[in-house]
Amino acid sequence: MTKKTYKKNVEKKPETRKVASPLQKVKERFGSKEKLAQAVADLFAQVKEEKEDLKERLMTAANTQLLRLHEVATQVKERFGSKEKLVEHLLALQNRVKDSGYREKLSAFSLPQLMDLVRRFEKNKK
């Protein structure tokens, strides 16, 4: 390798990828944090009064957390339809369909916790 080609190879700067910040992702996908909080509240809340309280609490959450909650909630809605069906799927994966105590325990878990369990058990099944 000559001195000239060595300099060319050494002086090449690696291309830097711009990673969008959570705020940029929120503005790109939803327009504002308020709209994202409303979307997450719509996915989680059951009663209208509950939606307003939930939206207020979500407005104080970090953008990253809101994006993750929205992603998990949409995955659950698309794949399973509801939290109950997700719990049923988990019980079926573990061959514990008749275990009512375990069903109650799983029902108390949050959606992100349940989705992590689904990923883990589906990975172990393969």
pLDDT at 70: 92
pLDDT at 49: 72
pLDDT at 125: 78
Sorted by where each begins, the domain ranges of the chain are: 22-79, 81-126
pLDDT at 10: 60
* All residues at 6 or more sequence positions from 99 whose CB lies less than 8 Å from its CB, including other chains: 91
Residue ranges of the alpha helices (H) in 12-99?
Answer: 22-29, 33-44, 48-58, 63-79, 83-93
Segment-wise mean pLDDT, segments of 10 residues, the chain, 126 residues: 62 69 90 91 77 88 92 91 91 91 91 92 82
DSSP code for 108: T
Main-chain dihedrals φ then ψ at residue 50, nearest 5 degrees = -65, -35
